[in-house]
Amino acid sequence: MMTALLGRRARTPAVEVLGLGVVAWALVAAGLLSPAAATLLGWLALGSAAGYALSGST
Amino acid sequence: MLASSVWRGTERRWFLGGLFLGAGITATIAVLVGAVVRPLLPGPARVVAVVLLAAVVLPGELGAYRLRLPQAARQVRQWISEEGAGGALQFGVEMGTGFRTFSTSNLPHLALVALALNPEPAIGLAVAAGFATGRAMMTIGRAGSPDPEAWDADWAASERRILRLLAAAAAVALPLALGWAVGSAVGWAAWLPRLASGGG
């Protein structure tokens, strides 16, 4: 299931991290996310982007 | 790929657990160092510093110029992954810290400095969980691929595009993340709720 979520393409997780940020903003705009939850999602997405960016490192 | 040899069942779980432990260690140190530095910089200055760093890092990630920030540039000894669960755990911890690699991206620098300038335990937990998850995505995605070698080739062929996507993700996430610092400085009621209601 996790593999299906991540997809078979290397770029899929990057799209998903971007999607996480966009969804978080949409939830904020809709008033469905508390400020604390929104900021923590922001930090989570920032950390995920940083972590996945190292995938091609040696 | 650095972690290519750690893909077997139990050992992979130890490796993935190690990623979270390693990321937690780095985040804890960043929070502790940041707590020492915090009294020297007022809240707005810390936010400005993160924004300025992002303004330098993100265009580089998008390909506007070549930027190479300082890094440890040391690899994990790959043979430790052949030492069973303990080796896999150690491999994961070292990779999870983010300091045992030759990095091709400056996004980890941005995340680390942003955390150190906003040293809250909850933020550290979120960044560590995100960083480890990001590193685990490669492990899980590659292991789940019917052709892991092709997955590696796909990453190499898509690297520029992936780094641009991740830079865009960081650009989207950073204002949300900094809401914590801004909110702490001006009060929550003055920021996100107004944004949510369209008041700007």
CA B44 and chain centroid, separation: 23
Task: Give the mean pLDDT of chain B.
Answer: 83
Give A10-25 pLDDT, tens digit per residue.
Answer: 899 999 999 999 999 8
Residue type present at position A11: R
| Residues found in chain B | 200
Confidence tier at B34 by pLDDT (50, 70, 90) = very high
Least confident of A39-53, B4-18, B57-71, B72-86: B72-86
Question: Measuring CA to CA, which residue among B181, B35, B63 is closest to residue A46?
Answer: B181
A52–B134: do the CB atoms touch at under 8 Å? yes
Write down the domain spans for chain A.
10-56
Query: Which residues of chain B have a CB within 8 Å of the CB of A27?
Result: none
Confidence tier at A51 by pLDDT (50, 70, 90) = very high
Q: Count Cβ neighbours within 10 Å for each residue of B109-147 and write b for 16 or more, e otherwise.
A: bbbbbbbbbbbbeebbbbbbbbbbbbbbbbbbbbbbbee
Question: Measuring CA to CA, which residue among B131, B132, B98, B123 is closest to residue A47?
Answer: B131
Q: Does A27 touch chain B (CB under 8 A)?
A: no
Give the pLDDT score at A7: 61
Residue B187: pLDDT over 70? no
CB proximity under 8 Å: B 148-177 to A:
151, 154-156, 158-159, 161-163, 165-170, 172-177
Confidence tier at B199 by pLDDT (50, 70, 90) = very low
Which residues, 6 or more positions from A5, have their beta carbon under 8 angstroms from its beta carbon? Answer: A16
Residue of A nearest to B196 (CA): A29
Confidence tier at B49 by pLDDT (50, 70, 90) = very high
